[in-house]
Amino acid sequence: MKEKKVKKNTSRRKKGLAFQDWIKKWLEELGWVVHNQKPVGRMIVTKDKFGKKKQIYISQRNDIFGCVDLIAKKENKPTLWIQATLHTGIGEKKKALQTMPWGKEDMVQVWVKRENGHVDIFMLGCDSLHLIGKIIRRKFYKGENVVWEF
């Protein structure tokens, strides 16, 4: 699968959406069924500074439960709840994820795309995020003491 090339001057939001699409395709190739929550928007009518009516598009954030971008299911595997981000500071993501009452069969992850193209995968533990592995050139490398596989 070829990754879509996103121009350097493209907005961070578009790069983030392209990253979500990449995650969805990567997981689907491994047999997962994936829901990728896309942002929604609406057209509103307003007036310009001269009083003339004009339509503008308002984009709205639309995360699942306010903190998750993708949900993935696979037979005999826990449900994956994934927050995809391009930001390196994941503290705010962790706080938002910790507000939810996750169950034993939920695997909550934060996928961080690095500037070098590698993807770090963190899993939400009792009170912190733990690095469980990396994806480098489309191959998953498990972290130490990690037994879970995709």
More confident residue, 125 or 18: 18
**pTM for the whole thing?**
0.78
- The strand pairing partners of 70, in sequence order, are 36, 82
Angle at 102 between CA 139 and CA 143, to 5 degrees: 25
Confidence of residue 9 (pLDDT cuts 50, 70, 90): low
Token pair of 2, please?
């070829």
> Does position 2 have pLDDT exceeding 60, yes or no?
no
Helix, coil or strand: residue 92: helix
Least-confidence region, from 32-36, 39-43, 54-58, 131-135: 39-43
Give the per-residue pLDDT at 22. Answer: 95
What domains, with CATH codes, occur in the chain? 12-142 (3.40.1350)
| Positions of E strands within 4-147 | 33-36, 40-47, 53-60, 70-73, 79-85, 106-113, 119-124, 129-136, 139-142
Give the per-residue pLDDT at 33. Answer: 97
